[in-house]
Amino acid sequence: MTTINITVQSLLNAAQYDPYSIDDGNTVGDLKDVIESSTSCNVSWFSLVFNDEELNTANTLLSYNIVEDSSLRTANKIARLPTLEDRQVGKLDLSELERLELGNSRPYYDISELPTYYSGNVVVDNPNPGGLIEGRPWVDTPPGP
């Protein structure tokens, strides 16, 4: 097994490729775990693509002929998450990571500020009695548990 240096398209900026060093005997799932550790992008949010083929997480990088200086693309899979709630929260979480990376002064979201949100696949109306807040649902501090 050999350590290789590859690049993977960022989920936070599609025009950017992030460098990774990994053993070519590792699985695609191992690489996704490394990406999640370094970016906080949940492994369920994306798949990896090489030579226009979506990669199976159980296969090794070497089995796809991923070698030194290979570049992999990411495919956003948030729209394929099982529930509408998972999709809404996944999109908001990804946006939050991007806002944090960009140094936005209001990087966190408070889902209770949205006029509607999902519980599983059910729409929950949230009338916001005080009216909608400008910039909703983005806030400057993380909401409490």
pLDDT in tens, the chain (145 residues): 899 999 999 998 889 999 999 999 999 999 999 999 999 999 999 999 999 999 999 999 999 999 999 999 999 999 999 999 999 999 999 999 999 999 999 999 999 888 889 999 999 998 877 777 778 899 999 987 6
What the chain holds in terms of domains, given with CATH numbers, is: 3-78 (3.10.20.90), 84-139 (no CATH)
Pairwise CA distance, residues 88 & 40, whole Å: 17
Please give the structure tokens belonging to residue 82: 């099982």
pLDDT at 128: 75
Beta bridge partners of 27: 60
End-to-end CA distance of the chain: 44
Residue 117: strand, helix, or coil: strand
- Share above pLDDT 70 across residues of the chain, in percent, rounded to a whole number: 99
